[in-house]
Structure 1
Amino acid sequence: MGQIAVLDGSRVDATAVDDGGWGLLHRRGRARPALTCPGCDAAVHAVQRQTTRFFRHDRAGSDCPCANESPRHLALKSACATAVRTAGWEALPEHRVGGRVADVLAVPPGSAAGDVGCVSVEIQLSNQPADVTVARTADHARAGSAVLWVVTRPSAVDAPDLPHLVVAGDAPHPVAAPVVVLNAAARVRVDGRELPVPRWRTAGPFPLDRVVAGILSGRLVWTELPRNRAWPSRASWQWVPAAQIPEQQRLSDALGRAEEAASVVTAARRQVHAANILAHAETKRTVTARLLDLLEAAGHRLRWPGDPVEDRSGWYAHGTVVRTVGGPLYVVHPVAGQVRGGARRKLASAVVVVDTAESAARLSAVGVDAVPIHAVRIAPPAS
C-alpha cells in the first residue's frame, strides 16, 4: 500500500486528488484505470478506508516496500500531507531525497524539490535505535533537507534532541479523528517569588495542522529547556514559541545567577561548619585534659584502659565520655543542637563538663545541666 501511483507515465498523489478525480481512479471493471506502482511497476488499484486514500497492489504478498505500509502509517502520512498543504507549502508524498524516500517532502512556496529549505516528514511507528535515526537524518541533511519525525511515542526515534512530534491516537485510522500533537507549544509561567522562577507548561494538545504550520513558518522552534530545580523532570526538549525564547533565556540566566550565588553561600556555610567542628574537637580535647588532671589530683582512676572515649552513637550527643572507678560518669562538651530525648535522659545521670558559662547556658536551654571546667570540684574516691 502506498499513496503514489503512476498513470500514463504521470505520478498520481492519493492525498492531493479531489473527490471527482478520486472517483475516476476508484472505478472497477473495464473502466478501471491502468495504475501501476512506481516502486515495482506492478498493477495497483485505488482504495479508501474512512478518510484515508491509498493504492493497493493487485497481487498480495508483493516484496515491494510500498506494499508493507500499515493503515495507521498511511493515515498519518495523509494527515501530514494535508497539514503541509494547509500551511501553504507543497506536499510531495513518497518523494526521493538523495538516497532516501521521504514519507512527505514539504517544499516551501516558490521553491522546488531538492532546494535548500525543504523538510522531510518521516513517520516512525515502531521503535528505532538512535544510531539508525541519526543516520537517516544525516542522509536527508546531505541532500539538503531537514527532517521532522512524527511518532506516537518518543522511544520510536530514541534521540530526544532530534526534532519530532509526538501525536496522539491508537486507532487504526487516526486521521478519522483530528490528529493532535502532545509535545508542542510549551509556554513559560513565572512563579511570584523573590526571584522569578520560570516553569514550562505544555499548552496543548494542539491540532496537527496548526503545529506543522507553526514549525514551517518558524514560529515554533525545537528547543532544549534548561535543567534545574525549577524545570519539569520530563523530556527537556520541546517545541517552544520563538517569541518566548528571549524570555526563556532571560529567566534562565537569572535563575542560573541565583543558583550560582546560592552555591557560593552553601560553600561558605560548609566551610564555617567544618571550622566549627574542628574548634569543638579542640575545645573537647582541652577540657578533657584539664578534667583528667583534676581526677588524677583527686586520686581517681579511669575505669577502662581506653578511656576517655568519643561518643559516636549520639547517646551522649557526641561529647567525650570519661568513666572512673567508683565515681560518676563525666561527659565533656556535648553539642546542644544535637541533644534529643534519649541523649537528654543519658546526660541527666552524668556530670556534664564544658569550657565556659556560655556553653553551660546553651545546654541548659535544651534541658541539660552542665558545669564549666573552672567550677568543677572533685572529691577524693571513697575508701
Structure 2
Amino acid sequence: MSYIPYGKQDIQQPDIDAVVEVLTSDFLTQGPKVPAFESAVAQKVGAKHALAVNSATSALHIACLALDLGEGDWLWTTPVTFVASANCGLYCGAKVDFVDIDPNTYNISVDALTNKLEKAAKENSLPKVLVVVHLCGQPCEMQAIKALADKYGVKIIEDASHAIGGKYQGDYIGNGFYSDVTVFSFHPVKIITTAEGGMALTNSDELAGKMDSLRSHGITRDPELMTHEPDGSWYYQQVDLGFNYRMTELQAALGLSQLGRLDDYVAKRHTLAERYDGLLKDLPLTCPYQHPDTYSGLHLYVIRLKLDEMSVSHKAVFDSLRAQGVGVNLHYIPVHTQPYYQQFGFEADDFPEAMNYYREAISLPMYPNLTEREQSKVVSALKEALSL
C-alpha cells in the first residue's frame, strides 16, 4: 500500500547542487551562505534584520531573552500550538498562561485576549510577552492584537513557523509591522526547508544585536562591546550567557535555494486547498476558513468533523485514514493538557474553544508535490472512514 504523508519536503537538483557546493568549499559553518540566506529572507519579507539559527525553538528562546523575559514575568500564547511556543517562556524562568482560540481561524481570539488583558491589568498580572501563533499558516488579526499590546505595554513575538510566504493585509509575514520579533521554521514539513533550522526577524537594532550574541555563546569580537581594548586580533569576549544555536552553511545553502520557490510553493498549496474545498463540500465537516485580511501560507489543511452529524468517532476516522495509508495528523494537542503543564494548575476546560477544536480536528496531507491522484485518494479514504 502506498503511503501519503501529511507533509513532505520537495528537494530538487538545484538544492542538491547548492549543498554539494558548500561541502566542497572551505566553510561548513560560519561562512558566507548564512548571511546570504539571512539577507535574502529579510529582503523578501521586508524586515531589517534576520538571524538564522538551528531551529525555530531556538529562535523563540533567544527572542524571549532579548525581550528581557525572566523570573516573575508572564508569557501568554495560544493553547493550540506546538509546545515550543509556550516552553520558550519556561526556559527563561517566566510563568506561562494561555488565551483561548477563535473558533473560525483557530488562532488567538481577539475577544478572549481583550477580556483577559482587562482582567490582568486590574490584577497587576499583565504578560511581558505575547506569542501569537499563525496556525496552519493563517496570520492572526495582527492590527487588533498590536493595538491591545500597545495599550497594555506587552511585547509581541509572532510564531510564524507555519507562515513564511503568507501575507497580512497584502504584506509578507515577517516584516515586523505589528511585532517585536517574528520567528520562522524551516523543518522538513514546513513551507521551505533547511532540514532543521529557524530564523528570528526584527526591525530593532538592539534586539538583533542581543539575539546575534545569544545564538553564539554570548561571545563578541566587536571592540565596542568589550570591557577593554582587545589584547590582539585574536581576541574575543563572552559578554552574555549564550548558546550554540547557529545555523550551518549546509542548511543555509539549502534554504537559499528553496527560497527562490517560496511563492510557487504557497500558490500550489492554495490550488490544493481549493480542490480540497470542492471535493469535501458535501461531507459532514468544516473546511479551513480564510480570513479576508490574510493570505495563508497553508502549511496545514485542517478539517473539523461535525461529530453530531456522524455515527463514527473522531478517533475511528483518524485510525481508518491511517490504516488506508493516509498519514493524517492532529495539530495540536492543547498545550495546557500536557502532563508537564498540569503541574501549573491548568484544567482541560479552561480553554473550551481549544478543546472543541482538539476533539474534531484532523490535518489532511498538504505539500506542493501532492498529486491530484493522491489528493483524490485522500478524499476517497476520508469518505470510507466517515461511512464506517
TM-score (norm: length of structure 1)? 0.23
Question: Which has the greater radius of gyration?
Answer: 1
The one of the two structures with greater contact order (alpha-carbon pairs below 8 A, sep at least 6) is 2
